[in-house]
A = this chain, B = another copy of it.
């Protein structure tokens, strides 16, 4: 049976917190979901005792997704990213506005709806932020991007993805023209503070690590 909206939110969040390979802690989950840690423990115990189990869990050790849990998480993430793409393309949302709307819609659309928007968008592989969209058979495509912070003077690339930016930063990057699919060139690098000077269009911008580590590019 289809997991509740709450459970879908937990699974999605666990997926994201465990992408680095390490288990997700009760506290991290609580922070990300805006829920008290005690409540998270309760839900964790429930998810671990579902059959089939959706997460792997041992007291005080954090949680990881089982394959059933990962599948359910990817389903929600696919919904979310297809919806964002579609809202931007068909209703003129800007890429920094769509998140909240998709956050609510992702839980209620049918598989039929999912198929229809995927087809209407011609089966996109990345959403407006550049995040990879899980495939229809619920696999996450391989990510071939590099953080902009890893580039050095004279290297060029195409922006693929902006990760982990809040609404303010998204708007700021939009104003600078730093959006997915834009070509950029590193015109200077400061080894001291890791600042990069980036040429985008005809303008140069000096960006610190807190920004360049959130921009992912395909090196050319």
Residue ranges of A at the interface with B (Cβ–Cβ < 8 Å): 90-93, 100-101, 104-105, 107-110, 112-113, 116-117, 120
Contacts and interface: CB of A to CB of B under 8 A. Distances in A.
Contact of A91 (B91, B93, B113): B113
B109 A101 contact: yes
Q: Is the interface of A mostly helix, strand, loop or mixed?
A: helix
Number of copies: 2
A110 B101 contact: yes
A146 to B, nearest CB: 36
B104 A91 contact: no
A116 B98 CA distance: 13
Nearest to A90: B90
A8 to B, nearest CB: 13
Contacts of A108: 104-105, 107-108
A2 to B, nearest CB: 11
A97 to B, nearest CB: 8
A116 B91 CA distance: 6
Contacts of A91: 113, 116-117, 120
21 contacts: A90-B90, A90-B120, A91-B113, A91-B116, A91-B117, A91-B120, A92-B116, A93-B116, A100-B110, A101-B109, A101-B110, A101-B112, A101-B113, A104-B108, A104-B109, A104-B110, A105-B105, A105-B108, A105-B109, A107-B108, A108-B108
Nearest to A113: B101
Contacts of A113: 91, 101
A116 B97 CA distance: 13
Contacts of A104: 108-110
Contacts of A109: 101, 104-105
Nearest to A120: B91
A106 to B, nearest CB: 9
